[in-house]
Chains A and B, each alone.
Chain A
Amino acid sequence: MNMINLLLFPVIIPFFTAILLLFFKEQVRVQRVLTVIGLSAGIVSALALVSKVKQDGIQSLTLGSWPAPFGITMVSDMLSALLVTTTLIITLLIAIYSFSSIGVERERYFYYSAMLFMITGVNGAFTTGDIFNMFVFFEVLLIASYLLIVLGGEKRQLRESIKYILVNVISSAFFVITIAYLYSVVGTLNMADIGEKIASIGQPPILSVIGVLMMLVFGIKAGIFPLYFWMPGSYAAPPVPVLALFGALLTKVGVYAIMRIDTLFFVSDLAFTHTILLVLALLTIVAGCIGALAYFDLKQIIIYNILIAIGVILFGVAQMNEPGMQGAIFYLLHDMLIKGALFLLIGIIIFVTGTSNLREMGGLIKTHPTLGWMYLIAAFGLAGIPPLSGFAGKLLIIEGGFTQGHLFGTIIILASSLVVLLSVIRIFLYAFWGEPRPLKTTDRSVYRRMMVPAVLLVALSVVYGVGTEWIYPYVSDAARVLLDPDSYITAVLKE
Chain B
Amino acid sequence: MELLMAIVAGLLFTAAIYLILSRSLIKVVLGTGLLSHGAHLFILTMGGLGGSAPPVLADGAGDFADPLPQALILTAIVISFGVTAFILVLAYRTYAVHETDDLSLMKGNDEHD
- A positions within 8 Å CB-CB of B: 132, 135-136, 139, 143, 146, 150, 153, 155-156, 158-159, 161-162, 165-166, 169-170, 172-173, 176-177, 179-181, 183-184, 189, 233, 236, 294-297, 300, 356-359
Contact between B110 and A297 (Cβ–Cβ < 8 Å)?
Answer: yes
Partner of A183, one of B47, B90, B91, B112: B47
Q: Which residues of B contact A173 (CB under 8 A)?
A: 32, 35-36, 38-39
Contacts of A136 in B (CB 8 A): 75, 79
Closest chain-B Cβ to A171's Cβ sits at a distance in Å of 11
A300 and B94 in contact, given A173-B39, A179-B72, A180-B43 (Cβ under 8 angstroms): no
Query: Which of A150, A177, A295 interacts with B39 by CB under 8 Å?
Result: A177
B111 x A162 contact (CB < 8 A) = no
Residues of B within 8 A of A153 (CB): 93, 97
**Residues of chain B with a CB closer than 8 A to A181's CB:** 46
Residue of A nearest to B93 (CB): A158
With A and B bound together, what is the CA distance between A180 and B66 in angstroms? 13
Alpha-carbon distance A177/B17, docked complex (angstroms)? 15
What chain B residues lie within 8 Å of A189 (beta carbons)?
68
- Expressed in whole angstroms, the minimum distance between the Cβ of B39 and any Cβ of chain A is 4
Given contacts A180-B42, A295-B113, contact A132 B72 (CB under 8 A): yes
Cα distance, A165 to B109, chains bound together (Å): 18
Contact flags B61-98 to A (C-beta < 8 A → 1, else 0): 00000001100100110011011001100110110011
Interface of B with A (CB < 8 Å)?
20, 25, 28, 32, 35-36, 38-40, 42-43, 45-48, 68-69, 72, 75-76, 79-80, 82-83, 86-87, 90-91, 93-94, 97-98, 103, 106, 108-113
In this complex, what residue of A is CB-closest to B106? Answer: A159
Report the nearest B residue to A232, measured CB to CB.
B110
Contacts of A162 in B (CB 8 A): 25, 87, 90-91, 94, 103, 106
Distance from A479 Cβ to chain B, minimum over Cβ atoms (Å): 33
- 25 A–B contact pairs at CB < 8 A? A136-B75, A136-B79, A143-B86, A146-B90, A150-B90, A158-B97, A162-B87, A169-B35, A169-B80, A170-B20, A172-B80, A173-B35, A176-B36, A176-B39, A176-B40, A179-B43, A180-B42, A180-B69, A189-B68, A233-B109, A233-B110, A236-B110, A296-B112, A356-B112, A357-B111
Contacts of A165 in B (CB 8 A): 83, 86-87, 90
Quote the shortest CB–CB distance from A212 to chain B (angstroms). Answer: 17
Point out the residues of chain B lying under 8 angstroms from A143, CB to CB.
Answer: 82-83, 86
Q: Which residues of A contact B68 (CB under 8 A)?
A: 183, 189
Chain A residues with Cβ under 8 A from B42's Cβ? 176-177, 180
Measured in the bound complex, the distance between the Cα atoms of B113 and A356 in whole Å is 11
Measured in the bound complex, the distance between the Cα atoms of B82 and A233 in whole Å is 24
Q: Is the pair B46, A139 in contact by a Cβ cutoff of 8 Å?
A: no
With A180-B69, A184-B46 given, name 9 new contacts (CB 8 A): A143-B86, A146-B83, A158-B90, A169-B36, A179-B43, A179-B72, A180-B47, A181-B46, A357-B111
Tell me whether A159 and B110 are in contact in the complex, defined as CB-CB below 8 angstroms, given that A143-B82, A180-B46 are known contacts.
no
CA distance A96 to B75 in the complex (A): 35
Please report whether the interface of chain A is mostly helix, strand, loop or mixed according to DSSP.
helix
Partner of A158, one of B43, B48, B94, B103: B94
Given A184-B47, A357-B111, residue A158 in contact with residue B98 (CB < 8 A):
yes
Shortest beta-carbon distance from A183 to chain B in Å: 6
Distance between Cα atoms of A172 and B113 in the complex (Å): 32
Instruction: Tell me, rounded to whole Å, the shortest Cβ–Cβ distance linking B10 to chain A.
Output: 11
Shortest distance in angstroms between B57's beta carbon and chain A's nearest beta carbon? 17
From B32, which residue of chain A is reached at the shortest CB distance?
A169
A124 to B100, CA, bound (A): 39
Tell me which residues across on chain A come within 8 A of B47, comparing CB atoms: 180, 183-184
Residues on the B chain within 8 Å of A236, using CB: 110
A150 partner residues in chain B, CB cutoff 8 A:
90
Cα–Cα, bound, A158→B94 (Å):
6
Whether the Cβ atoms of A295 and B112 lie closer than 8 Å is: yes
Nearest CB of B to A174, in Å: 8
B81 smallest CB distance to A (angstroms)? 11
Q: How far is the CB of A232 from chain B (nearest CB, A)?
A: 8
A308 → B minimal CB distance (Å):
19
Expressed in whole angstroms, the minimum distance between the Cβ of B103 and any Cβ of chain A is: 8
Shortest distance between the CB of A156 and any CB in chain B (Å): 7
B93/A166 in contact, CB under 8 A: no
Which of A180, A183, A296 interacts with B113 by CB under 8 Å? A296
Residues of A within 8 A of B75 (CB): 132, 136
Residues on B with C-beta less than 8 A from A295 are: 112-113
Q: Are B94 and A159 in contact (CB under 8 A)?
A: yes
Give the chain A neighbours of B112 by CB distance below 8 A: 295-297, 300, 356-359
Asked if A183 and B108 sit within 8 Å, CB to CB, the answer is: no
- A159 engages B108 (CB within 8 Å): yes
A166 CB contact (under 8 Å) in B32, B40, B76:
B32
CB distance from B86 to the nearest CB of A (A): 6
Q: Which residue in A132, A135, A156, A358 is a CB contact (below 8 Å) of B108? A: A156
Asked if residues A155 and B113 are in contact (CB atoms below 8 Å), the reply is no
The 3 closest A-B CB pairs, nearest first, are: A297-B112, A184-B46, A180-B46
A170/B69 contact (C-beta < 8 A), A162-B94, A356-B112 known: no
Distance of A356 Cα from B111 Cα, bound (Å): 10
Which A residues lie within 8 Å of B40 (CB)?
Answer: 176
